[in-house]
C-alpha cells in the first residue's frame, strides 16, 4: 500500500481528445451471457451505473451522503468490492470493470445481497479518473491487473506514469493506493514506477515487499 503525499497538484482535467485517443486493449467479453445475466445487464445495470454527469459531486449519485469515496479499478467478479462495501457501509464505492462477464457476476451478487453503497462504471476507467474532482477519493484498489506479459504489450499495463498521475490527482492527501499482483515481472515494473513517483510514499521497505495480505483484505478467487 502507498500513501498519497500530494499537496498541491494542479486541478487541471486532461484534454479529453487525449483521453479518447487512448485505445482500450482489455478483453470486453468472454462466453455469451445466459438469459438471466443478459436481463441483469439490460435492466439492473442502468440503475447502478455511475452517472458521469454527477462526477463533480460523486456522492450525489448515492443514497447516502458519505464522507469517503473508494474506488476499485478492475473488480473482476466483484468479490473484493462487495466485501469491502459490506465491511464499510458508510463509505460510497465505485467499481470500474470493462469485462462484461465480470459485470454480470457483480450484478447477480448485488441483486442477492442488496448492497446499496456501490455504483458501477462498466467502461474504460480512464475517462472516469479524468472526470472525478481532485482529492475526492480516499482509497483506490488495483488488484491483480492484467500483466500483459509480452514485452511488446508492456505499454498496455495500467501502471504507467500517466495513470499514476491520474490516480494521484484523485486521492486525498493521506489516502491510499493498494496494488497487488502475482506476476513477478509486473511486480518489478510496479516497483520501478512507484519508487520514482513523488506523489506516493510506500508504507513498507521496497527491499522487503509485503507478501501477507492486510487485515482488511477480502479474499477472492485470485
Which residues are catalytic, by number?
146
Cell of 15: 484534454
Virtual CA dihedral for 168, 146, 70, 126, nearest 10 degrees?
60
3-state DSSP assignment of residue 35: helix
- The answer to whether the beta carbons of residues 203 and 3 sit under 8 Å apart is yes
- Cα-only R_g, the chain: 17
- Cα separation, 54 vs 134, in Å, equals 14
Amino acid at each position: 500500500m502507498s500513501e498519497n503525499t500530494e499537496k498541491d497538484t494542479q486541478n487541471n482535467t486532461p484534454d479529453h481528445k487525449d483521453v479518447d485517443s487512448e485505445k482500450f486493449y482489455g478483453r470486453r467479453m468472454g462466453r455469451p451471457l445466459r438469459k438471466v445475466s443478459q436481463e441483469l445487464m439490460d435492466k439492473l445495470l442502468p440503475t447502478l451505473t455511475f452517472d458521469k454527469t454527477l462526477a463533480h459531486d460523486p456522492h450525489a449519485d448515492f443514497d447516502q451522503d458519505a464522507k469517503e469515496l473508494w474506488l476499485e479499478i478492475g473488480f473482476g467478479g466483484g468479490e473484493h468490492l462487495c466485501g469491502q462495501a459490506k465491511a464499510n457501509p458508510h463509505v460510497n464505492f465505485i467499481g470500474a470493470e470493462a469485462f462484461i462477464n465480470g459485470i454480470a457476476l457483480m450484478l447477480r451478487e448485488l441483486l442477492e445481497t442488496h448492497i446499496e453503497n456501490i455504483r458501477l462504471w462498466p467502461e474504460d476507467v480512464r475517462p472516469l479518473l479524468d472526470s472525478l474532482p481532485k482529492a475526492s477519493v480516499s482509497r483506490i484498489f488495483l488488484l491483480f491487473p492484467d500483466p500483459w506479459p509480452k514485452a511488446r504489450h508492456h505499454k498496455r499495463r495500467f501502471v504507467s506514469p500517466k495513470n499514476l498521475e491520474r490516480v494521484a490527482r484523485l486521492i486525498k492527501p493521506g489516502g491510499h493506493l493498494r496494488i497487488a499482483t502475482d506476476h513477478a515481472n509486473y511486480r518489478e515494473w510496479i516497483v520501478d514506477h512507484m519508487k520514482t513517483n513523488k506523489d506516493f510514499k510506500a508504507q513498507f521497505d521496497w527491499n522487503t515487499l509485503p507478501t501477507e495480505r492486510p487485515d482488511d483484505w477480502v479474499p477472492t478467487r485470485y
